[in-house]
Amino acid sequence: MPDSLNADFLLAWAREAGHEYPLFDCHVHPFDVLTGDTAYQTSDSLPKLFSRPGSAYHPPAIMPENFDSAEIQREAVSERGLLLTSRFAYSHTGARIFDDHLALTGLSGALLLPVTRCPDRAEAMLATIQQMFDEPGRYFCACPYPVGMAREALYPFFYQMKETYGICAVKIHTNLVNLDPASPEGRETIEAVLEAAGSLGLSVIVHGGWTPGLQPAQAAQYGTLERLSCVDWSVSRAPVVIAHAGCYALCETEVTAALSLLNVLFEKFPNLLADVSNLGMGAVESVLRFSDRSRLLFGSDALYIPIWKAWLRFLHALYCVSPDPESDLIRIASINPRRCLSLPV
C-alpha cells in the first residue's frame, strides 16, 4: 500500500481502471429531495446550467490541492439532529454542474434520482429533467414514485415514462412519501411498484435509513432495514438497490446491526443490491468489509455531498479494506451499475 493515499494517487488509480470500464455514480439528485423544487432559470453565461436568480456558479474543486487521507476520512454528517440542517435548496443544477463534478473525478455518468412528495408531479419532473440533462449515455433517469397513484395504474404509467423519457429505474423514498413498508398498505404498494417496474426491466432504488426531522415523526424511520425487511423484494425481476446500505443517519452500533440484517436480505433476495452513498468513512469501510462487495454500487448522494468527496472517501476505504481493490472497484463502480442502468455488461 502506498505511504500516502492522497487524492492524486487515488484518482489516477481509478481513472486507469475507468479507461476500460466506465465508472458510474448511481445516486445523485437533480433537485433537492425535500422540496422537489424545479423552478430554475437558464444561465445567461454558461450553457447547460440552471440557477436561482442571483446565484454565482463556482465549479467544484478539490480543496486543499493535496487532499490527504486524513481529510478524506472526515465523516459524513451522521448526527440525526444535524442532518436536517445539512439539507439545502440547490442554487444550481443541470448538466453543466454534474459535468464539472464528473470531470473532476473521472466518472463517466450518473443516475439521477428525483423525488416528489406531491401527487401528479412525477411526469412534470421528468420533463424538466429531460430539458436539463438531455445527454443519453451520460445521465440516466429514474422515475420518482408517483404519489397517490392507484396500483393498477403503475404499470401503464411506468411504461409510458420509459417510452417518453427513457427512464431506467424507479426511486422510492419511503420516508418522504410517508410509505410504511411494515404496514399492509405500504408493503402492498411497494410490491406493486416492484412488480410493475420489474416487468419493464426497471431497477428500483429505495431509501435505506432514517430521515431526521421529518413530519409525521414516525415516517422518519420507514426506510430502516427492519421495516424494509417486511417487503418481498423478489417480486421484481430487475435489480433492487437499498440506498445508503440501509445505514443513513445511523450511529456506529446501529450500522453494525443494520449490516447484519442487510446480509440476511442479500442471502434471501438474489436481485438485491445496496449503494454506499453519503456514509461516513467508518460506515463505508464497514459496508465494504462485512458485506458482499459483488452486491454493492458506488453512489455519492450529490449534491448533498460533493461527488469528488464521496468518490475519494469510497476509493480510500476500498483500497484499505479490499484484498483485491481493482477488481472490486470495477465490480462496484462499473459492472453492477451497468446492470442497474440496463447497459451492456
Reported as a single tens digit per residue, the pLDDT across 20-74 is: 999 999 999 999 998 999 999 998 889 999 998 888 999 998 865 445 555 555 5
Q: 3-class SS at 31? A: coil
The per-residue pLDDT for 265 is: 98
Q: Is residue 49 part of a domain?
A: yes
Domain of residue 66 covers 22-339
User: Quick check: is 4 in a domain?
Assistant: no
Q: What is the pTM of this model?
A: 0.94
Contact indicator for 115, 179 with CB cutoff of 8 Å: no
**164 has a pLDDT exceeding 50:** yes
Split into its structural domains, the chain has a count of 1
Instruction: Dig out the grid coordinates for 221 from the structure.
Output: 424511520
Residue 1 is assigned to a structural domain of this protein: no
Within a domain: 261: yes
Question: Which of 125, 101, 115, 77 lies closest to 281 in space, CA to CA?
Answer: 77
Q: How far apart are CA 194 and CA 73, in angstroms?
A: 36
| pLDDT for 44 | 82
The answer as to whether 225 is a domain residue is yes
CATH number, domain containing residue 287: 3.20.20.140
- Residue 54 has what pLDDT? 84
pLDDT of residue 67: 56
Residue 114 maps to a domain: yes
| pLDDT tens column, 171-205 | 999 999 999 999 999 999 999 999 999 999 999 99
- Convert the pLDDT of each residue in 309-329 to its tens digit: 999 999 999 999 999 999 999
CB 271 within 8 A of CB 236: yes
pLDDT in tens, 196-231: 999 999 999 999 999 988 888 899 999 999 999 999
